[in-house]
Structure 1
């Protein structure tokens, strides 16, 4: 009888899925430009972000129970230890599954992402053949499989534009990775990429002020006549 791994994310099938997800999203993330990016993952072994030449510095954190480990340490119930609009790219690599507060982490990711920045989310699809296997292998740990459509709806409500949403990975955990029609429809994982809308600045409308003409009927040389006179 096969034994469950100490960490589901260290298992060979999930590691292959992580590779498939990285390959699927990297072309779209190549356009990201900025000084800082944030990766929130599930283990230090999977803390290698995609190679994006136009991004400066990556900060890596891992979800472990109710805490964040990695480059910075923090409690998950205290939020991410960053100021608003700090990153041009935030990558949640299966992090919404592993955290005990997925809604809070998503809100924090939205908060620390700069307007115009990109949020990328990966995970195991709950409506796939992977779901029963995933729950069995992770028995005893609190893991939440998130429906991509719900994530997309929440992001749209938060002012995001969805740029990519697709199924990736093998149909079965024991399968061999290959990009086929069945993968597009029944792949075990998903990738969602969304861009945060920039803040709209509403220009002030200047109202003309009626000009009072002196009793003499003459104006100073620097005064221009207009239709409001």
Structure 2
């Protein structure tokens, strides 16, 4: 029996894209300090196994207007402490929630200083968009495309530093580059199917107290200066 997909991310081409993104995130995670990790996916079947370098892992996926999985919450109120996640992999959550969900600010809030956020989205400049528009005839909803530039501005506004932007997935579904892409691979072309933003929260260092130029004169107590010495000459 042929099952009708409920989401574009259940299509074989999008599943292949998700697998390639996870392999890429897993390779990059080896360069991130160990600690708690969080994954957020566009649907439950797109979830992947935990990354071995970060065994403490929480998995969430889009569910209606909120998130479900290991716990349930709203996108603008993730139930995690500030600076608690060393690694976050969020795949296409901006595509399924759309602008104004507040997810970018929440991801920035829970990311630990020195940690890394890998945020993936569908590229509105790619020919993939024309292919996806044909899926509407099958009753599937199109994603809310967000350009990497808009999301980049949102993350920078949340005090994150963008350390890398790249494109992946190939220029047309079915022609994607090797899903085992690692750091040694190319950054991709601007018309490929998806984009990746890697963002980091800077560590807060101690600010030195500036010293005034020149010597500082210490006032002398005149009463002490005029009092006789208690030393007795031999």
Q: TM-score range by the shorter chain?
A: 0.7 to 0.9
1:141 corresponds to: 141
Contact 2:166 2:188 in 1 (8 A): no
Partner of 1:66: 65
Q: Is the 8 A contact 2:40 2:89 kept in 1?
A: yes
Moved more, 185-194 or 196-205: 196-205
CA contact (8 A) 1:74 1:80 kept: yes
List per-residue Cα deviations over 1:88-138 (Å, max 9, x = no partner): 112111111112555401111111112222111112111101112224436
Residue matched to 2:46: 46
Match of 1:193 in 2: 198
Instruction: Provide the rounded CA distance (Å) in 1 between the counterparts of 2:163 and 2:152.
Output: 10
Length-normalised TM-score, structure 2: 0.78
For 2:210 and 2:186, how far apart are their aligned partners in 1? 54
- What is the TM-score when the length of structure 1 is the normalising length? 0.80
In structure 1, distance between residues paired with 2:153 and 2:107: 15
Task: Give, in angstroms, the shift of residue 211 of structure 1.
Answer: 4.1
1:65/1:100 contact within 8 Å kept: no
**Matched positions, count:** 215
Task: Map residues 187-226 of structure 1 onto 2, 5 A cutoff.
Answer: 187-205=192-210, 210-217=218-225
Q: Distance in 2 between matches of 1:167 and 1:115?
A: 26
**CA offsets 1:20-64 (integer angstroms, 9 cap, x no match):** 2233343332111232111111222222156342x2411010112
Q: Closer, same or farther in 2 for the Cα pair 1:65/1:160, shift >3 Å?
A: same
Shift of 1:183: 5.0
Contact preservation (8 Å) 2:61, 2:67: yes
Give the match for residue 57 of structure 1.
Answer: 56
1:82 lines up with 2:90 in the alignment: no
The 1-side partners of 2:30 and 2:169 are apart by 21
RMSD (CA atoms):
3.0
Distance in 2, matches of 1:15 and 1:51, equals 18
Shift in CA distance, 206/20, structure 1 to aligned 2, threshold 3 Å: same
SS at match of 1:91: strand
- Residues 120 and 191, structure 1, Cα contact 8 Å, conserved in 2: yes
**Does structure 2 conserve the Cα–Cα contact (< 8 Å) formed by 1:40 and 1:62?**
yes
